[in-house]
Every structure is written in structure tokens, then in C-alpha cells.
Amino acid sequence: MLCPSTVRTYRRFYAIYALTFLVLLPILCNELPYSKYYTRSVRREEGARRVEAENQDRVADAQFFLNQNGPHSRTFRLLRQRLERKSKPELVITVVTIARRSGVKSKPGPQYLTQVVARFAELLMRQENVVFQVCNVDTPPESHREAMYLSKYVPVISKNSSEPVPTNVHIQKFEKEKQDYVFCMERSLELNPSYVLMVQDDAVPRTEFFTVFRHLLKYNIEGKVIRGNLRSNPEKWAFWKLYYPERWQGYGNEQRLFLELICSGLIGGTIFVVSTFGFTTERDAKKRTTVFVLGFFYAVLLCLAVGRQYLIELRRMSVHTYAIVDAPDCCIPAVLYNSDQAAAIVEYLKGQTCSSVLPIDLALDKYVHSSGLKQYLVEPNLFHHIGIVSTLHAGIKNPVDF
């Protein structure tokens, strides 16, 4: 028979379970799309209106920044001068852009490029030896009015397409996307940088981007801490992905994510034991084990219920807590290359014909697998993906993801 103190202990933990999973989480998580408690039934039209309203707010902020500084301000003069110097930069940031139409003649497009340019310009004011440019791949270039307007502010290179594009509709748009990407990478490499960051025009950098990037460059890309000492990193890698869709960042059947969940459980079990018994030695081993198990499952259930997408946001507390993991296949809104591998990737892509079966992101992953090199992903994301209007697919994407 259990003693009264043991009964009180168990009742307290049962109350914690009930309060957490039956009261608090249903209230706090019912509007978090990747949570198990997400109950809000939103029609696609309603979600699209919400995303559009948020987008217009960001456009207004971006336009305010551009108007406040002006094309002849020090901020934008520096961006143009860095490209004109022709000196070897450490990093070239190239935004690949194509016009996105709203579908309504009198209605302007979503103006994603304006938001990306304004954010990068704001962040680059405090950076040295970084070249920024926009790569306009619209045909003809003049049809991309947003890019033409922004050319007053930042360097814009344009593609006068001479490469033949297959007439097969299932190949055409994907092959053109690849050819555009290759063109922009080649123009970036002409500047002889150490690194090239290729960004799609609907990927907005987060405010901490350069702080995290500099840390990664020092301790993960160029250097590596070995036995407490920072040494040169001899590893060759294909590229680093700086964004991966949140929808796919939850707990899956990968070994890494399973171990991550187990570690969370071990931490939860330890916290339960310490909070109950302190650091004293409890003779009742069965009671300690039971409390540990309760804490273990509490933490595991909490992680699964809230959603990994929201828990990894805690890693933003410090540059030291960002995670570097093997990158999954798919998705290239923001990818970092070193110049040597970028040149090899350009030649490889020229020999590939992209299609709906082999889009450019999977072609890049194919290169990784064939070359035996590594590809990495930084968690959490260093970019916001705002492109609900796709350039490849008709209609809009799922508003829940934006």
C-alpha cells in the first residue's frame, strides 16, 4: 500500500498532466498550425486574405525604408560601389527574381522582391566585403517592372535569354528555372567571391542572419573546434541550406529526430526527479523510477503536442544554440555555396534537363549524392518564406504555411 506522501506526489503529477494537456495547451496552441491542438478551421479564401493583408503590411514597411533612404543615400550608394570595385568579395548575395502577377490587371503583384531588397539593404549597412545584386531573369527583362524600379537602388543584372527552352510544357518551366539559376550563379562567380548565397525573391532574411552567418563561417564552415581548439576545417561540402519548409520540420521517422525526442524525455524525467527529491539520495528507488518515467513521458508528449517547429525556435536564444544537421532533399529558397563547388555545380546542371520529375532542387540533391559530398541545413531557418504566389504552379499555396 502506498504511503500518504507517495500518493500526494503522484496526485501532484497527475494534476500537472491534466492542467497541461487538458487546459493550458488547448488554449495556447489552438491557433498554431503545426500543433496537435490546432482546431481552427480556416477556409482557403479566408487564409489567403490574411496572408495578403500581412504581405501588404510588409510591403508598406519596405516602401517606407526605400523612400526614407532614397536611391542616392549612403546605404544604396555603398551597395552599388561594392559591385563596381571588382575586388574579390567574401560573399556575393544574388537574388534570383521573375515577375509575379496578381492575376488581376489593375492589381499590383505581391512585391516580394521589394521586401527582400529592403531587408538586405538594412542588414548590409553594417557589413563589409559583401556584394549584393538582383538577377532579373524575366523575358523580356523590361516586363519585370518591380526589378526595373529597384534598379535605381541596387545593382540589377538582366538575362537576355538565348538558350533554347524545350517546347514540352511539362519540362519547359522547370528547365527555364534551371537555366535562370545557372545564369545567375555564373554572373555571381565572375566577381571571384569566396562564397555565393543564392536567394529566391520570396525569401526574406531574418534580422539575425548575418550574426548567425558570421558565427557559422568561423566555427563550422571555415573552422572547426577540435579538442577545444579552433582549427581549419578540411571538409569539403556541396552547399548549406538556410531554409527548409516548416511543414516538414516536425518529428518524423528519422533517427536524428527520434533521438532528439528521447533526449527531451530524459531531460523531462531528470527535472521531475530533481524537483521532487532535490539532490538528496532517495532510498525508495521504485518511487524515483516512477517519477522519472512520468517526467519522461510528460516531456515527450509535450514536444509532440506543441510541435517541433515551435520548440526549435528556442534555439534563437544564442548563435551557439543553432543546430547544423544533414540537409534533407528538396527546397532551395536560400542556399550558400563556396566558389569551387558552385563552379562544379554549374557545369553539372548544364548537363541536366529539369522537369516536373526532376526540378532544380532535386537535381542539386542528385549532384550531392553522385559526388559524395555533404549538404547541411541550419536550424532554425535564417529566412522567412513569403511566396504564397508561386512562379511554377497555378494558384496559391496553402495559407496555413504562411
Supply the DSSP string of 182-193, one letter for each residue.
HHHHHHHHTT--
Domains of the chain, with CATH numbers?
A: 12-40+251-306 (no CATH), 44-249+313-401 (3.90.550.10)
| Beta carbons within 8 Å of 365's beta carbon, 6+ residues apart | 329, 330, 375
CA distances from 79 to 72, 123, 197, 245, 312 (A): 11, 11, 16, 30, 34
User: What pLDDT is attached to residue 208?
Assistant: 94
In terms of pLDDT, which residue wins out, 90 or 229? 90
What backbone phi and psi angles, to 5 degrees, belong to 152?
-70, -25
Cite the DSSP H helix spans in 137-198: 145-150, 169-189
CB of 45 closer than 8 Å to CB of 53: no
Rounded Cα–Cα distance for residues 345 and 96 (Å): 17
Helices and strands (H and E) in the chain: how many = 13, 12
Closest CA to 215 of 336, 100, 321: 321
Rounded Cα–Cα distance for residues 165 and 394 (Å): 20
Average pLDDT over the chain, rounded to an integer: 87
What percentage of the chain's residues is helix, strand, coil (to nearest 5)?
50, 15, 35
Mean pLDDT of 318-326: 92
Rounded Cα–Cα distance for residues 369 and 264 (Å): 32
CB of 180 closer than 8 Å to CB of 96: yes
Rounded Cα–Cα distance for residues 39 and 44 (Å): 15
Helix (H) or strand (E) holding 334: strand 334-338
**CA angle, residues 76, 79, 85, in degrees to nearest 5:** 135
Rounded Cα–Cα distance for residues 250 and 260 (Å): 11
User: What pLDDT is attached to residue 171?
Assistant: 63
User: What pLDDT is attached to residue 256?
Assistant: 87
Rounded Cα–Cα distance for residues 372 and 165 (Å): 30
β pairing state of 130-136 and 156-158: parallel
pLDDT digits (tens, 9 = 90+) for 242-255: 999 998 998 887 88
How many residues belong to the chain?
Answer: 402
User: What pLDDT is attached to residue 106?
Assistant: 47
Which residue type does 184 have? C
What backbone phi and psi angles, to 5 degrees, belong to 204?
-100, 125
CA 72 remoteness from chain centre: 32
pLDDT digits (tens, 9 = 90+) for 127-178: 888 999 999 999 888 989 999 999 999 999 998 766 565 566 556 789 999 9
Band of residue 290 on the pLDDT scale cut at 50, 70, 90: confident
pTM for this model (two decimals): 0.89
Judged against a pLDDT cut of 60, whether residue 385 lies above it is answered with yes
DSSP 50: H
In terms of pLDDT, which residue wins out, 82 or 66? 66
Which residue type does 265 have? G
Q: Which of 71-75, 228-232, 308-312 has the lowest mean pLDDT?
A: 228-232
Rounded Cα–Cα distance for residues 18 and 158 (Å): 60
Highest mean pLDDT out of 24-33, 85-94, 303-312, 385-394: 303-312
